[in-house]
Structure 1
Amino acid sequence: MNTINDERGCSVCQPGKENYTTYNTMLGRKRVRMYQYDYRTESGELFSCCAPTLEACREKRDKWLNNKIK
């Protein structure tokens, strides 16, 4: 199984970097590929989400970063 966490379940994402993996899940009767995504700021804050595309994850990250600036 692919993972972006260590054996304790903690993110291994380095500051200023993103890390992601895919997994399959069921939505009703349909199998869907999802992305588990982590981004760690230079200051060490972790953003984590799941979405059906990597682009959607990055959009969520960008929105989170923009809200932090305000």
Structure 2
Amino acid sequence: MYALNDPALGLQADAVQTNFKLWIVQNFLLSPAQATVLTGIDDPLHVTSRNSVPFAFSTGSKLT
């Protein structure tokens, strides 16, 4: 993700914010156990804070 230019990174951040679970499935190979955990995560996952996944993607920050 760090190699993406700003517009491409913005698109990824939007996709994460719009549907986190779908983005994960489309971008990672999940084991059956990981898919089960993902299914159990409440929607929406993101929060409106500096620790949100979309914020991290759009700024190049690390998730904490």
TM over 0.5: no
TM-score (normalizing by structure 1):
0.23
Structure with the higher fraction of residues in strand conformation? 1
TM-score (normalizing by structure 2):
0.24
Which of the pair has more CA radius of gyration?
Answer: 1
Structure with the higher fraction of residues in helix conformation? 2
Name which structure has the greater RCO, CA cutoff 8 Å, separation 6+. Answer: 2
